[in-house]
């Protein structure tokens, strides 16, 4: 009976460890909203949401916003859509399909990597994008993290 209890204990420990590993690996990461360092506009979640849904087309400084996003396959994209936009990635894609079809706006330019998003934003004073928070560098200004 003692051997059976030990085996059961080890199975429970293994199961809990495995579940903890998967939970931690799937835990949500933070997403940083980035702009060119010279952009002195003010940003809050609602402003960022409106900009990325094309409902606001310019920054508070009056300059037109150029939207840069992570690739739809990048986990940062799902995090951004959920935390900032409040929609699933498929809902955001459907939203932009409708806006594009009606000619009322253009979806964000998708970049292949965090480095590409940073390069695009750092080279254009009118760009705004988002990256995994751990990828942000001094080349851009982080205006919010979610």
- Each residue of 44-103: pLDDT tens digit? 999 999 999 999 999 999 999 999 999 999 999 999 999 999 999 999 999 999 999 999
Token readout for 48 is 């960022």
The answer to whether residues 77 and 118 touch, using CB atoms and an 8 Å cutoff, is no
Rounded Cα distance, 70 and 86, in Å: 17
**Widest CA span in the chain:** 76
Rounded Cα distance, 99 and 118, in Å: 26
Report pLDDT for 21: 42
Report pLDDT for 24: 43
The answer to whether residues 105 and 54 touch, using CB atoms and an 8 Å cutoff, is yes
Per-residue pLDDT, averaged over 26-53, amounts to 92
Token readout for 38 is 């010279």
User: What is the dihedral angle through the alpha carbons of 67, 68, 72, 73, rounded to the nearest 10 degrees?
Assistant: -170
Q: Is 28 a residue whose pLDDT tops 70?
A: no
What is the chain written as a DSSP string?
Answer: -HHHHHHHHHHHHHHHHHHHHHHHHHSPPPEEEEE-TT------HHHHHHHHTTS--B-TTSPBPEEEEE-TTSHHHHHHIIIII-S-HHHHHHHHHHHHHHTS--PPEEESSHHHHHHHHHT-TTEEEEEEGGG--TTSEEEEE-
Cα→Cα distances 1→5, 6, 14, 102, Å: 6, 9, 20, 71
């Amino acid at each position: 009976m003692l051997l059976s209890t030990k085996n059961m204990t080890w199975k429970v420990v293994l199961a809990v460890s495995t579940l903890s590993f998967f939970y931690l690996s799937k835990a949500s990461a933070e997403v940083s909203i980035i702009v060119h360092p010279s952009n002195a506009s003010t940003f809050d979640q609602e402003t960022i949401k409106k900009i990325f849904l094309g409902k606001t087309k310019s920054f508070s400084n009056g300059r037109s916003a150029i939207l840069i996003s992570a690739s739809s396959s990048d986990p940062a994209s799902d995090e951004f859509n959920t935390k900032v936009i409040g929609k699933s990635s498929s809902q955001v894609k459907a939203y932009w399909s409708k806006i594009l079809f009606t000619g009322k706006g253009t979806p964000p330019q998708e970049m292949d990597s965090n480095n590409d998003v940073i390069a695009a934003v750092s080279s254009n004073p009118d760009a705004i994008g988002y990256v995994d928070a751990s990828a942000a560098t001094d080349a851009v200004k982080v205006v919010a993290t979610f």
